[in-house]
């Protein structure tokens, strides 16, 4: 009942249980900041959708900004700008903020040589 053969996986006779020994590492893994496959594929799909509808997206944003001539489709340029900013995030990722500091956390100091200033 408790034999080793009972612990064998039905697939290819591999033993069940933890695939790695305690303290071991399965591998290097994904590099930090690299999007996973699903995220990468989703972004590519959105980029392709925007590319395929380039002319339509511009027309749709114009309709939102200028209105469509009906009472429900009132002009809303702020909303059009917001939509365009949201779409832009898929084409170009947001940049993180970077703070530049000088020595010891103080201000950054620049030295300009007069030879460089004349050039």
pLDDT digits (tens, 9 = 90+) for 79-93: 999 998 888 876 676
Query: Could you give the angle at the alpha carbon of 32 between the alpha carbons of 24 and 100, nearest 5°?
Result: 135
> pLDDT category, 116, cuts 50, 70, 90?
low
pTM, entire model: 0.43
Cβ distance 75 to 65 under 8 Å? yes
With CA atoms as reference, report the closest residue to 13 among 4, 1, 23, 22.
4
Task: Evaluate if residue 115 carries a pLDDT over 70.
Answer: yes
Span 47-74, mean pLDDT?
86
More confident residue, 1 or 72: 72
In this model, does residue 69 exceed pLDDT 70?
yes
> Which residues, at least 6 apart from 69, have a Cβ–Cβ distance to it below 8 Å?
none
Answer for the pair 65, 80: CB distance below 8 angstroms, yes or no: yes
């Amino acid at each position: 009942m408790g034999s080793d053969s009972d612990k064998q996986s039905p697939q290819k006779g591999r033993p069940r249980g933890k695939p790695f020994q305690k303290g071991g590492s399965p591998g290097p893994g994904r590099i930090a900041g690299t999007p996973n496959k699903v995220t990468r594929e989703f972004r590519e799909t959105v980029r392709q959708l925007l590319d395929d509808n380039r002319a339509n997206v511009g027309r749709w944003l114009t309709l939102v900004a200028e209105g469509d001539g009906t009472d429900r489709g009132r002009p809303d340029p702020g909303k059009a700008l917001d939509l365009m900013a949201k779409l832009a995030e898929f084409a170009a990722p947001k940049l993180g903020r970077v703070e530049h500091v000088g020595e010891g956390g103080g201000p950054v100091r620049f030295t300009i040589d007069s030879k460089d200033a004349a050039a």
